[in-house]
Amino acid sequence: MRARPLPQAGLIEGEGQRAWEVFLQRRSQLTDRMEMETCNGCDACGLRCMQGFTITQAEWEEIQAYLATQPADTVARIQNQQKTVPWVGAEDSGATVTYCQFRDMEKKNCSIYPVRPTICRIFGHTWWLPCPIGAVKHVPEGAETVWENYREFERLTIEEWAQKTGENK
């Protein structure tokens, strides 16, 4: 039996778009209940901003639209940063890690924070992706349901979306 095609979310119209809008409402209802004040000024999660996670087409397009509103020199500065660096604490081993292309390595923050993907919004605020320094004491219920809903959409890595859409981002 063929697998049911995953709904896409983005430029497509109709059912896929409506399903994405419903998902965004559910996600907001979850994130609105998160203990975000604890995260003010903290970048402990940022050290987990590794390349290779997947996002939906709608998230990819939202990021592209956001980048188009940002100063070109800022976008280029972050794009040109070295994202593969020695593994902190294991420098002698030669092991490296590659950060998300949207992490600002100089300012140590997310350069697309207002449009960050779903995984970035729930990191630190669910039991399976807990705050790495244990500062967030309470996580809202219902994250599993929202995540299951999210998983119904087609997702690719940022690099795969860039290749698929011809964006050199």
Residues that bind ligand SF4 (CB under 6 A): 49, 100, 102-103, 110, 112, 116-117, 120
CB 1 to ligand SF4: min, Å: 35
Q: Which contacts of 65-73 are long-range, i.e. CB under 8 A and separated by 24 or more positions?
A: 65/115, 66/112, 66/114, 66/115, 67/112, 67/169, 70/111
What is the Cα–Cα distance from 168 to 159, expressed in whole angstroms?
9
Closest distance of CB 56 from ligand SF4, Å: 13
Closest distance of CB 99 from ligand SF4, Å? 7
User: Which residue, among 36, 24, 46, has the nearest Cα to 138 in the 3D structure?
Assistant: 36
- Between CA 77 and CA 23 the distance in angstroms is 33
Phi/psi at 86 (nearest 5 deg)? Answer: -60, 145
Q: Output 13 or 114, the one with its CB closest to ligand SF4.
A: 114
Nearer to ligand SF4, 81 or 165 (CB): 81
CB closer to ligand SF4 out of 100 and 143: 100
Task: Give the residue with the Cβ less far from ligand SF4, 28 or 98.
Answer: 98
Q: Tell me how far, at minimum, the Cβ of 54 lies from ligand SF4, in Å.
A: 11
